Structure 1
Amino acid sequence: MNKLYPDATTALADIVADGQIIAVGGFGLCGIPEALIAALRDSGVRNLTAISNNAGVDGFGLGQLLQTRQIRKMISSYVGENKEFERQYLAGELELEFTPQGTLAEKLRAGGAGIPAFFTPTGYGTLVAAGKETREFNGKMYVMETALVADVSLVKAWKADKAGNLVYRRTARNFNPNVATAGKITVAEAEIIVETGELDPDEIHTPGIFVHRLVHNPHPEKRIEQRTTRAAKEA
């Protein structure tokens, strides 16, 4: 099975649609699937529910899809420095499901592992627990959280082989591995793509069985650095 596609637009063309749940890897601006996010924006799909730790910044990362009003709901743990994210939420234009960061990671991991729900002490006695089942275990109260499964997951790897085995780098491992397993269809972009068998099995973070499509996007961090520098100068 050939998982390698010529570009991000082609990789997403027949699998994204209005109203889908899209999970996106990355942490802040680190390890985000830049090419795939741009292709998703250009596809014109709307009314998306986006699962991501945050939504990038204004005009970058998922911030692009907020500006084009393609996201109807965010499931995230952090608004961050994204002014448009904040504005849309406070104006009632964007639905937001705030989730503690560790709980968000576990909800994605559970979804990928086929676990429908789990109990966590995080959020008990706060608004996070409103409307959710609570239960006592060994004298401590816990909140039941349901798993997250995405119609399409978009992830960023540092290196991949043509079978879809992925290696992440540094903090890109914070959410990308869980997002990769939680997607019904997972598309990965990678800076480096090697032949199948060239990766040491011990260095693989996401096995290729979870990855359906692969796109080569060499050294996007350089473009991030250039855009961030240019934005800072313009500000």
Structure 2
Amino acid sequence: MVEILLATGTLLTAMAALGTSIATFKTLRETRLSREVSTNPKLFPLDSQGSVHIQQTKPQLQHTVDFEGIRLENFGRGPLLNLELRWSIDVKELVEFLREVDQRKIYNVHIHEGQDENWNELRLSWNHFYARQLEERVQIIAPRGTEEPVYVRPPAFFMEAFVVYLHVLIHERDDRKKYVPIPNFVPAELTVRYSSLAEDTFSQRYEVELEYEHNQTLFADEEGRYYFRLHVKHKHNKSLNMDRLFPRAPKPTG
């Protein structure tokens, strides 16, 4: 009988120790997860709006692009560190697209081959661009609301190609105020990688689209000014934008 009681006591002690160990493990795990949540950054690239002002087209295209870029917001509680951005743009597809929409052959858009692919030039209007201008780095983005927001712009040749697109499809029309459906501009892909204070790394991919805004352009106070919206869509999610705060006008029906 004594032996049974001793065995039972030993079992109960062991079970109590196991229970204490499990509780301690759960507490440590919850503490670690809580610490990660409190220090992990969360990057959200937001939709944005801009405009192109075409001042003249002859003897050469002269224009300005009023556009801050993609607004990068850190909705986490800790700083976002060592942000690397890399753009992926199909330049050959871009050239073929511009040639197709430029039915009046205003531009001789082409790729001028260099000594290797890194030195190939994309020739648009009067400007030439190296297609390797695709990377950018940002050291730190503080949590939202603590500092000024950070903006990044798509590569210069991508924006210049969009200006050519607006010129041949909108600016050259006799009636610019009439809504006419136009083909979507070639999208780009943006890959981002960043880290946290705990040295955890994060990677995300987005599709970036530029869209001409007819309704907004109708109310432009300058001749030759065309508004557009940049959309950022997570590869596995919906568009990350600010339409809740700044609703877009519905598309015209005629």
Both structures adopt the same fold (TM-score exceeding 0.5): no
Alignment TM class, shorter chain as reference: under 0.3
TM-score of the superposition, structure 2-length normalised?
0.25
Relative to its length, the structure with more strand (as a share) is 2
